Copies of this chain bind each other. A is one copy, B any other.
Amino acid sequence: MKNYKTYFWLLLSVLLIFSCKEQVTDNSDHLPSWNDSSAKQSIINFVKDVTNEDSPTYVSPDDRIAVFDNDGTLWSEKPFYFQLFFAIDRVKELAPKHPDWKTTQPFKAVLENDMETLFSFGEHGLLELVMATHAGMTTDEFAQIVKNWIAKAKHPRFNRPFTDLVYQPMLELLGYLRANGFKTFIVSGGGIEFMRPWVEEVYGVPPEQVIGSSIKTKFEMRDGKPVLVRLPEIDFIDDKEGKPVGINKFIGRKPIAAFGNSDGDLQMLQWTAGGEGNRLMVYIHHTDAEREWAYDRKSSVGRLNKGLDEANQKGWTVVDMKKDWKVIYSWSE
């Protein structure tokens, strides 16, 4: 009987010891949607190196900052940035209140579903769309508008919610890094307040770890209640040279790992590479026309040209979506 008791306590102790241990990487595969490839291996090697306390390459958890572009890196970006679908839907919804839009560009093009004309107005035209559809309301109101849209809007190719077009291998990667003590940040050219209402649920990234482009806001009292009103005025463009600026402003230290897919991410990868010690720079290369899209040097959306050259030249990791990913989306084969 006493022996039995002893074994009981022994077992309990052992169980507790195991349940007590800090979450550490075991030998099981945290990246099951990744084929065994040099890309996968370079990621795993990097994580092992910076988390190994006995190694000179060890990095303390505080400094394990990983930054991720969003469009084309965490979710798809074709036929054009998903935020533009949102802006277009907003124009159509707001049109009854703006009869002049029927005859005024770029709104006319949107209302006539004439994408070719819309894009002919270039960045300036798109900016006008954003200002007309993203400003004028409070931040709380805008967050609700985004939530409503993301819950019901569907991607034209797959007829599925846009959030179904996040990459399963990247979700696994986010989780793998966090399980190894990394703080994961999104650093996107997309709107910061367009992302925050849904990225925590989808990517597990809290609002305070989302960096993006923004318009200005203004503090006001409305009926004794404080609000922030969104103004039709650019505050910050978090793209290209803006990405290191945004990282420095919001995070205040250099990342040790950076993930992007376009020339818009090049400076972020350069900034990350510029730090001392072990660094991981990764480009996601869109090579799978069948399961997703294939594009790089000549694409108008998500062009990867200079970045691909620099990655090859400097030995950065390039993920070949077609070869390296078993699955693109969680629901696809």
A-side interface residues toward B, CB under 8 Å?
A: 2-3, 5-6, 9-10, 12-13, 16-17, 19-20, 62, 65, 139, 183, 192-193, 196, 200, 206-210, 214, 216-219, 221, 225-228, 235, 241-242, 244-245, 248-253, 267, 270-271, 273-274
* A-B contact sample (16 more), CB < 8 A, given A9-B13, A219-B244: A5-B6, A12-B13, A16-B17, A65-B208, A183-B208, A192-B249, A193-B252, A196-B252, A207-B253, A208-B209, A208-B252, A217-B249, A221-B270, A226-B244, A226-B267, A250-B250
How many copies altogether? 2
A-B contact pairs, 7 of them (CB 8 A): A2-B2, A13-B13, A16-B16, A207-B252, A208-B250, A210-B252, A227-B274
Chain B residues whose CB sits within 8 angstroms of the CB of A65 once the complex forms: 208
A221 to B310, CA, bound (A): 14
Docked-complex contact A270 and B226, CB < 8 angstroms: yes
A19 to B13, CA, bound (A): 12
A189 to B270, CA, bound (A): 31
User: Which of B6, B139, B241, B274 makes the CB contact (< 8 A) with A9?
Assistant: B6
Docked-complex contact A226 and B271, CB < 8 angstroms: yes
A227 to B249, CA, bound (A): 14
Docked-complex contact A218 and B192, CB < 8 angstroms: no
User: Which of B2, B20, B225, B271 makes the CB contact (< 8 A) with A20?
Assistant: B20
A241 to B6, CA, bound (A): 65
Write the nearest CB–CB distance from A68 to chain B, whole angstroms.
15
Docked-complex contact B217 and A245, CB < 8 angstroms: yes
A206 to B3, CA, bound (A): 51
Chain B residues whose CB sits within 8 angstroms of the CB of A16 once the complex forms: 13, 16-17, 20
User: Which of B217, B227, B248 makes the CB contact (< 8 A) with A228?
Assistant: B248
A207 to B65, CA, bound (A): 12
Known A6-B6, A219-B241, A225-B274: A214·B13 in contact at CB below 8 Å: no
Chain B residues whose CB sits within 8 angstroms of the CB of A221 once the complex forms: 270
Chain B residues whose CB sits within 8 angstroms of the CB of A226 once the complex forms: 244, 267, 270-271, 273-274
A250 to B19, CA, bound (A): 35
Write the nearest CB–CB distance from A12 to chain B, whole angstroms.
5
Write the nearest CB–CB distance from A11 to chain B, whole angstroms.
9
Chain B residues whose CB sits within 8 angstroms of the CB of A216 once the complex forms: 245
A270 to B228, CA, bound (A): 12
A251 to B13, CA, bound (A): 41
Docked-complex contact B207 and A228, CB < 8 angstroms: no
